[in-house]
Chains A and B, each alone.
Chain A
Amino acid sequence: MATLADLKISEVKLSEEQTGKWGMVIDQDICTGCQACVAACAMENNISFVGEEDSGYGRSMHWIRIERFWEGEYPEVKMTPNQPILCQQCGSAPCEPVCPVFATVHSQAEQLNLQVYNRCVGTRYCANNCPYQVRSFNWRDYERPEPLPNQLNPDVTVRRRGVMEKCTFCIQRIQKAQDQAKGEGREVVDGEFTTACAQACPASAITFGRVDDPESLVSRLTEQNYGVKHLEELGTLPRVTYFKGG
Chain B
Amino acid sequence: MAVFADLEPAADAIEHLRSIGVHDDCMNVISGIPVTEAMLGRPSQWTNVPRIALGGAALGFLGGFFLAYVTPYLYPYPIQVGTQAFVPGPPTVVVLFELTMLGMLLATFLGVFLDSLFPNYRPMKYVPEVSDGKIAILIECSVMDEKKLTDALNKLGAESVQQAEAQHL
Contacts and interface: CB of A to CB of B under 8 A. Distances in A.
Let me know if chains A and B touch directly in the complex, using CB atoms closer than 8 Å. yes
Interface of A: 4-5, 7, 9, 12, 14, 16, 91-94, 96-97, 99, 102, 104-106, 108
B85 A14 contact: yes
Q: Size class of B's contact patch?
A: 10 to 19
B72 to A, nearest CB: 9
Nearest to B86: A12
Interface stretch (B8-16, B74-82, B98-106, B112-120): B74-82
Nearest to A90: B82
21 contacts: A7-B77, A9-B73, A9-B86, A12-B78, A12-B86, A14-B84, A14-B85, A16-B83, A91-B83, A92-B82, A92-B83, A96-B80, A96-B81, A96-B82, A97-B84, A97-B88, A99-B81, A102-B79, A106-B80, A106-B81, A108-B80
A14 B88 CA distance: 12
Nearest to A105: B79
Nearest to B85: A14
Given A7-B78, A91-B83, A99-B81, 6 more contacts: A12-B80, A14-B83, A93-B82, A94-B82, A97-B82, A108-B80
Contacts of A12: 78, 80, 86
Secondary structure type dominating chain B contacts:
loop
Given A9-B86, A12-B86, A105 B76 contact: no
Interface of B: 73, 76-86, 88
A193 to B, nearest CB: 26
Contacts of B73: 9
A201 to B, nearest CB: 31
A96 B80 CA distance: 8
A106 B83 CA distance: 9
Secondary structure type dominating chain A contacts:
loop
Nearest to B88: A97
Contacts of B88: 97
B92 to A, nearest CB: 13
B77 to A, nearest CB: 5
A180 to B, nearest CB: 25
B80 A14 contact: yes
Nearest to A11: B78
A4 B77 contact: yes
A96 B86 CA distance: 13
A92 B84 CA distance: 8
A105 B81 contact: yes
B67 to A, nearest CB: 13
A76 B76 CA distance: 60
A12 B82 CA distance: 11
A202 to B, nearest CB: 36
Nearest to B83: A92
Contacts of A94: 82
B159 to A, nearest CB: 61
Contacts of B78: 7, 9, 12
A102 B78 CA distance: 11
B81 to A, nearest CB: 4
A162 B80 CA distance: 24
A111 to B, nearest CB: 10
Contacts of B83: 14, 16, 91-92
Most-contacted residue by chain B among A92, A94, A97 (CB, 10 A)? A97
Contacts of B82: 92-94, 96-97, 106
